[in-house]
Amino acid sequence: MRIVRTVQELRREVSDWRSSGFSVGLVPTMGALHAGHFSLVERATTETDRTCVTLFVNPKQFGPNEDFAVYPRDEEADAEALRDRGANLLFAPGIDEMYPEGSATSVSVPGLGDVLEGEFRPGFFTGVATVVSKLLIQSMPHRAYFGEKDYQQLCVIRRMSADLDLPVDIVGCPIIREPDGLALSSRNAYLSEEERTVAPRLQAALKYVADVAGSTGDHMDAARGAAAELVEAGFTSVDYLTVRDASSLEQTSDPSANLRVLAAAWLGKTRLIDNVAVG
Ligand code: AMP
C-alpha cells in the first residue's frame, strides 16, 4: 500500500489504475480507524479492483468549541491496519494541500444540511460537503463508501453528488456495533468507564421508538418519553431524538413513508449520534 500526500500523486496513481481498466473504490475517513471503517474498506476491496482510503481530519467540519485539536490521530497504526486489509493507496494530505492559502470555495446543501445535526453544529455539513466533493473530484473513483452511522451525512453526500453530477456511485454501508449495541465511533474513546456502561441505552431508545413507529403508534410521544428516559439513565442531555422520512429527513405523517429514527445525545462531554431504520 502506497501512502501519498499530494493531489498530484493521488491523481497519477488513480489515472494509471483507470487506464489499466481497474475499477476504483474510495473510502474517506478521519482516521482513528476501527471495525466500522474497516467494514467500508472490506466492502470496497470486494466490489472494486483498487481501494483508496483517505485520512484527513477536516478542520472545516469542526466548530470553534469542538474537538479538532484533541481528535484521536494515529496514522502509523491506521496505515498498518489498512495494509493488512488490502487497501492499495492511502491519501493522507496535510491541511495546506487540501486548503491552500487563498482557497475560498465551499459546497453547501441547504435544507438537508440545516436540520438535525446542522441545527446543533452550524457549518458542519458545509465542511463535510466541501471536503467530500474535493476528495471525489481529486480521486475520481467509480464508487465511494460511507457508513449509515452518520446517516444524515450520507443523505447530504448523496444529494451533493447528484446535484453536482459527480460520476460516482455513493454506497451506504450498515452500522457496525459493539456486542452491547453501542455504535462504533472514534469518539467512544472519550467515554469514562461508567459512561461506557450507559452508552448502549441510546441504541435501545432508538429501537424502542422504531418499534412504536413501525406499529403505527404515537412515535412523537414515544420519542419524548425515550429522550426523558435517557436522561434518567445518566445521559447529560438529548439534542434530538426524532422520527423522520428516511430520504428527506423531514417530519412526515405519510403512513407509507420509509422512516428512520435519529438521535444525538450528550454523555458527559461526549456527544454520541446513532440511528436505526423503522421496519
Ligand atoms: P469518520 O472517520 O468518523 O469520518 O468516518 C469515516 C466513515 O466511516 C464515515 O463514512 C462513517 O459513517 C463510517 N463509520 C464510522 N463509524 C462507523 C460504524 N460504526 N459503522 C459503519 N460505518 C462507520
pLDDT of residue 140: 98
Question: What is the distance between the alpha carbons of residues 216 and 279, in angstroms, rounded to a whole number?
Answer: 11
pLDDT number for residue 253? 85
Instruction: Give the list of residues 6+ apart from residue 160 with CB closer than 8 angstroms, or none.
Output: 107, 109, 129, 132, 133, 166
What does pTM read for this prediction? Answer: 0.98
CA atoms within 13 A on the CB side of 73: 10
Phi/psi at 199 (nearest 5 deg)? -55, -40
Query: Looking at residue 254, what is its pLDDT?
Result: 86
Model confidence at 248, in pLDDT bands (50, 70, 90)?
very high
Average pLDDT over residues 214-236: 94
Query: Does pLDDT of 216 surpass 80?
Result: no
CA distances to 84, 236, 259 from 242, rounded to whole Å, are 39, 18, 10
Instruction: Tell how strand 259-267 and strand 270-277 pair up.
Output: antiparallel
Grid cell in block for residue 171: 454506497
Q: How far apart are alpha carbons 170 and 26 in whole angstroms?
A: 10
Quick check: 217 pLDDT over 90? no
In the block, cell 436505526 appears at: 276
pLDDT tens column, 119-178? 999 999 999 999 999 999 999 999 999 999 999 999 999 999 999 999 999 999 999 999
Assigned CATH class of 186-277: alpha beta
Q: Distance from the CA of 261 to the center of ligand 1, in angstroms?
A: 18
Instruction: Pick the atom of ligand 1 nearest to 149's CA.
Output: 12
Does ligand 1 have an atom closer than 6 angstroms to the CB of 182?
Answer: no
Contacts of 99 (CB under 8 A, 6+ apart): 59, 60
Ligand 1 lined by 58 (C-beta under 6 Å): no
**Cell numbers linked to 46:** 470486494
Does ligand 1 have an atom closer than 6 angstroms to the CB of 40?
A: yes
Maximum Cα–Cα distance for the chain, whole Å? 58
Q: How far apart are CA 92 and CA 31, in angstroms?
A: 9
Q: How far apart are CA 168 and CA 171, in angstroms?
A: 9
Return mean pLDDT, the chain. 97
Share of the chain above pLDDT 90, in %: 97
In the chain, list all ranges with CATH 3.30.1300.10.
Answer: 186-277
Residue 255 banded pLDDT, cuts 50, 70, 90: confident
Positions of CATH 3.40.50.620 in the chain: 2-173
Q: Which residues are catalytic?
A: 37
End-to-end Cα separation, the chain, in angstroms = 41
Superfamily for the 2-173 domain: HUPs (3.40.50.620)
Does the C-beta of 191 come closer than 6 Å to ligand 1? Answer: no
The mean pLDDT of 169-191, rounded to a whole number, is: 97
Separation of CA 217 and ligand 1 centre (Å): 31
